[in-house]
Amino acid sequence: MNETERPAIGGAIHRKRPRNERRDARRSVRAVIAEGADSYDRSRHLARLLPLGPAEIADDSDAARREVLAKLSRALRAERSRGRAGHWTYDLNRHLALSQAYVAERRLAAHAARSAAASNEDAGPKAGG
- Structural domain includes residue 79: yes
Is 126 a domain residue?
no
* 109 part of a folded domain: yes
Separation between Cα atoms, residue 46 and residue 72, nearest integer Å: 9
Residues spanned by the domain of 29: 18-114
Q: How many domains does the chain have?
A: 1
Residue 124 lies in a domain: no
90 belongs to a structural domain: yes
- Is residue 127, in this structure, part of any structural domain at all? no
**Percent over 70 (pLDDT), the chain:** 81
Question: Could you give the CA distance from residue 98 to residue 35 in angstroms, rounded to a whole number?
Answer: 13
Q: Which of 52, 75, 70 is nearest to 106 (CA)?
A: 70
Task: Answer yes or no: is 75 within a domain.
Answer: yes
pLDDT value, residue 14: 60
Q: 3 in a domain, yes or no?
A: no
On the question of pLDDT at 27 being above 70, the answer is: yes
d(CA 1, CA 76): 41
In this predicted structure, the answer to whether residue 129 has a pLDDT above a threshold of 50 is no
Q: Report the DSSP beta bridge partners of residue 15.
A: 5
pLDDT in tens, 39-60: 899 989 999 999 999 999 999 8
Reported as a single tens digit per residue, the pLDDT across 111-124 is 888 887 887 776 66
